[in-house]
Every structure is written in C-alpha cells, then in structure tokens.
Structure 1
Amino acid sequence: MPRAALLELGVRTASAAVLVPLALVPAWTGGWPLALLLALAGWRIGYEWFHMQGRRGLTAQVPASSAAAGALTAYYIAGPVAAVAAAFLGAVIGRIVLEGFARTLHRGLLGVALLAVPLVLVWELREAGEDGRDLLLWCLLIVWTTDTFAFLCGRVLRGRLLAPAISPGKTWNGLFGGIFAAGVVGGFAGILLGFPAETAVLSAVCVGMATITGDLVMSAVKRTHGCKDTGRLIPGHGGVLDRVDGLLFGVTIVAIWKLIVEGA
C-alpha cells in the first residue's frame, strides 16, 4: 500500500476510534442519548447539505442556526422524532429566507427526503424493543465492515475503476471486497441473532450493496457541486454526511425489511 494511503488509513482509524463509541453507546441505550445524537446529526447534515450547494458563509450559517434552534426546541417540547424533523425544516426555512422559495424547493425537499427520513428510521428501529436494537447494531456492523473493506481492497488491490466519472477513487475490487466482507461478517452476526443462514447472508449482502450505493450517490452529488467532501469536521473522512452516507441507505433497507417481515 502506498505511503499516502497508509497515512490516510491511520487518520481514518484514529477518527473511527473516537466515532464508533459515540455511535454505539446511544444505539445501545436508546432514549435521550440517541435522540440527542440524531438531533445533532440532523443539524450538521443539514448544514453540510446547504453549504455544499450554496455560497460560503452566511448562506449556510443562517439555515444551520435555524436548524439548531428548531431541533433543540422540538426535542424539549415534542420528542426526538420532532427534533430530527425540525432540524431539517429549520434549515429549509432559513434557506428560503435567503434565496427564495423556488430555488430552495428542489434542493431543500430533496435533502429532507434523502437525509432526514433515514435518521427518523434509526430512531423508530431502535425504539422497537430489543429486536430493533439488535437490528440497528447489526446494520451498523455491516455498514462499517463494508466501508472498511471497500477502502482496504480498493487501496491494496486497486484494479479497474468502478465509476470514474463519479468517484475516481473507487474500484471494482473495492466493491466486491466490501460486499464479500459484509456477507461474511454480517451473515455470521445475523446467524448469532437467530436468522436462518441464507437469510442472514443475503440480507447482509443487500445492506452492503445499499451502503456502497449511498456512497456513490453522495459522490455524484458532490461531483455535481464541485467538491470532494461535504465538510472537514472528521479527519480522514470529511464531513458528517461523508461518514453516514452509506448508513442512510443501509438503515433504510433494514427498516423496510423489518416492516415486510412483520407484515408477512
């Protein structure tokens, strides 16, 4: 592995050592720690979304401030789901004030649909008792495994580029490595949770594919707006949106799967 890639891996690992406990503890406990984490994530993702699309400075700061105020107020009055929704609604309203309704409509509502709904699904999934907690932790494990092995296989094995027009750093070897690791690790974890072996492996592969899809979709959005990362908050990863893009898609698949199983 090239020296630059090793350095990047070291920085990413150090950041992950801090971020993983910050995600695992609220996911395990649920309640207000998870609600607070989701509200903060909603505010930051809303900030990064509008910051990526608009001008620097005031155009992003006002929606972000609106989102933060709305989220904190909603949390104390109506609970965590309202807090996540208010974070994005505040960001959209702030943007409308600055740039008008027409320019904000397609950007703001798209952001709410793609980003806010999965955060609400995280909460709903975790609040579905012990089964929901286990599914959320299982989803996190698969997403992190997919991201890690896609990065490692892509850097070590290299090979043919996956989508050079969207993301010149992603390769087919990284794709297959990430999905294979998701199937092995997620499948084994699913069996421990009581899933049939075939269901565990197939479901884990689907979540892994959704994770990579989320990463590619966000790469396409960033490429459209001429930026490499959505932010610089997390060393080695970029912004919060860079870190959770795959999770947003992965948790949506898990939540839909849970609804289908419960309705069957």
Structure 2
Amino acid sequence: MTTPTKPERGSGAPGSDIWVRLASGVVLAVVGLAAVHAGGMWFLALVGVVGLLLIHEWNSITIRGGHGAMAALHAACFLGAGAAGVAGRFDLSLWLVLAGVPASALLARGLGKSVLWPALGLPYVALPCLAMIWLRFDATLGTAQVYWLLATIWATDTGAYAAGRSIGGPKLAPCISPKKTWAGLIGGMAAAMAVGGATAAAVGLPHPLGLALVSGVVGGWSQVGDLSESAMKRHFGVKDSSNLIPGHGGFLDRLDGLLFAAPVAAAAIGFGWL
C-alpha cells in the first residue's frame, strides 16, 4: 500500500541522492505490491506496521514532547478497529475510530496539549487503512481493486508532475505548496482517468468506464490529501514527517495522497457510485 517516488518533492543535492530516492521507491513499491498479491496475513501485517508508523509520525509532529500516551491510545484503537474489520465487523471498526476521537481530545486536554490535532490523528490514519483492508479482502475482486487504486494514485502523481513541469501556469496553492499548479492538478486527474480505466479493464473489474470517471475523482482528491499534509507540516514548521525512508522522508510524506483517496475509492465501490 505504498507509492513510488514523487519527483516534485524531496530535498538534497542532485546526483547520488536521486538514486537513493529511486531505490527506496522501487523497494517500497515491490514490497507493497507483493503484499497486495499475497493477501492474508502478509497484507494485514503491512497495513498494521505502516499504520503504526503513520501514527508515530503524526503524533511526533503534532504533539511536541510527551506524545507516547497519545500514540499508545491511537495504536490501541487502530489495532482494535483493524481486528474488528478482519472479523468482518467494519461497523464496529468505525465505532472504535469514532470513540477514539473524543478519547484523544480528553487525553490531549489532560496533557495540556491542543485538542484538534490529536483528535484528527486517529481517523486520518485508521479510516484509510480500514478502507484498504475492506478493498483487499473482497472474496472475488480484492486484489484487482487494490491494484486499480494504487495504479490510479501513481498515475495521478506522475501526470501531475509531468503537466506541472511542462505546462506550468497559475499556482494551485502557493502558500502551501509553491510548486503545485492547476495544470498539474488537471493533468493528474486526466492521467488517473486514463490509467485507472485501463487498469480496471486489465484486471477484470466491472464497469471500467465508470471506474475511469471514479479514478479522476479519486486522483483529484488524492491531491487534496497531498496539500493537506503539506499544510500540516508547514503549520508545525517541519520539512519531512520523519527520516524513516531514505531520500523520501517519512510515510506520511509518501502516502498522503493514498490516505485521502482510499476511503473515497472504498465508498465509490461499496455504494455503487459507478
């Protein structure tokens, strides 16, 4: 459930650093696709480990010092919600996530911290992870659905970068991400529609034309996720969410688009919005 390198982001001098970024991106993509293909406990292990790392990064950024108790609360709710989802009780999963929001707010108040960011952390991480589990564990189309979603996100990132660099033009949100342009957003959505529709047809998903349209929406929403994570980091004055991924930063940096897109994709499929 990971994405390859996003060319428009990153830091450091050119040269060897680009090879580190590319190597890390390839490794992440291979591991992610292998877990999706294997399914079962392999996929659950990947989602669980990545989810816990995302929780750690979120709380490290938003709670300066003493974030261990909040991370423990979030981890307990996250793992409980995941276990309920694996048992087929996604309704219970959602209730656990919802219950974790006021619990996080109360704990934050007790710690003398801001209430908003801790309350947002659990749903920000848990809902996308639950969406990925729900998509993958479909008995007939699980693997194909996740392949489609990942291909859509990767196409969005690539199309946005290519269009933004080649066309340029007005900035999308210069106060948040100076490099992003409206051309990049449109190019990313167009690439998402083309690749998402083609992937849906290739992996045997029903309604590939409908999924092409959904892919455009999912791709556009993933860009909102990218901007939202950038805004959060800018608010707290950090450049990368962590240094866990060589040449990339952290998992929040790499998965920001997928975190927003996965619940939308699951809702589109679950509610038949095709």
- Give TM class, smaller chain: 0.7 to 0.9
CA contact (8 A) 1:63 1:93 kept: no
SS at match of 1:253: helix
The change in CA–CA distance for 1:46 and 1:95 in structure 2 (over 3 A counts) is farther
The change in CA–CA distance for 1:7 and 1:200 in structure 2 (over 3 A counts) is farther
CA contact (8 A) 2:172 2:182 kept: yes
- Do residues 214 (structure 1) and 208 (structure 2) align? no
Partner letter of residue 176 of structure 1? I
Q: Which residue of 2 aligns with 1:169?
A: 179
- Do residues 202 (structure 1) and 209 (structure 2) align? no
Residue among 236, 241, 256 paired with 2:247: 236
Give CA deviations for 1:74-118 in whole Å, capped at 9, x if unaligned. Answer: 69x878689x9999x99x989976872663542222111222111
Residue among 40, 57, 60 paired with 1:51: 60
- Equivalent positions of 1:22-37 (< 5 A) are 22-37=31-46
Larger RCO (alpha carbons 8 Å, 6+ apart): 2
Q: Which residue of 1 aligns with 2:150?
A: 140
CA contact (8 A) 2:108 2:118 kept: no
The change in CA–CA distance for 1:150 and 1:7 in structure 2 (over 3 A counts) is farther
Ranges in structure 1 where 5+ consecutive residues have no aligned partner = none
Q: C-alpha distance in 2, partners of 1:136/1:153? A: 25
May I ask how many residue pairs the two structures share in their alignment?
259
SS at match of 2:180: strand
The change in CA–CA distance for 1:223 and 1:190 in structure 2 (over 3 A counts) is same
Q: Which residue of 1 aligns with 2:23?
A: 14
Q: CA deviation at 1:171?
A: 1.9
Q: CA deviation at 1:21?
A: 1.4
Partner letter of residue 234 of structure 1? I
Q: CA deviation at 1:247?
A: 0.6
- Equivalent positions of 1:44-193 (< 5 A) are 44-55=53-64, 58-61=65-68, 63-64=70-71, 70=76, 100=110, 103=113, 105-192=115-202, 193=204
CA contact (8 A) 2:244 2:251 kept: yes
Q: CA deviation at 1:246?
A: 0.7
Q: C-alpha distance in 1, partners of 2:42/2:53? A: 17
Q: CA deviation at 1:61?
A: 5.0
Q: Which residue of 2 aligns with 1:41?
A: 50
Q: CA deviation at 1:146?
A: 1.1
Q: C-alpha distance in 2, partners of 1:7/1:152? A: 22
Greater Cα offset, 58-67 or 174-183: 58-67
RMSD of aligned residue pairs (Cα, Å)? 3.7
Q: Percent identity?
A: 33
SS at match of 1:261: coil
Give CA deviations for 1:46-92 in whole Å, capped at 9, x if unaligned. Answer: 1111111122xx52455456766x489869x878689x9999x99x9
The change in CA–CA distance for 1:212 and 1:10 in structure 2 (over 3 A counts) is farther
CA contact (8 A) 2:145 2:205 kept: no
Ranges in structure 2 where 5+ consecutive residues have no aligned partner = 1-6
Q: C-alpha distance in 2, partners of 1:162/1:8? A: 28
CA contact (8 A) 1:44 1:64 kept: no
Q: C-alpha distance in 1, partners of 2:34/2:253? A: 21
CA contact (8 A) 2:54 2:251 kept: yes
Give CA deviations for 1:172-200 in whole Å, capped at 9, x if unaligned. Answer: 23222222211111111122324445313
- TM-score norm. by structure 1 comes to 0.80
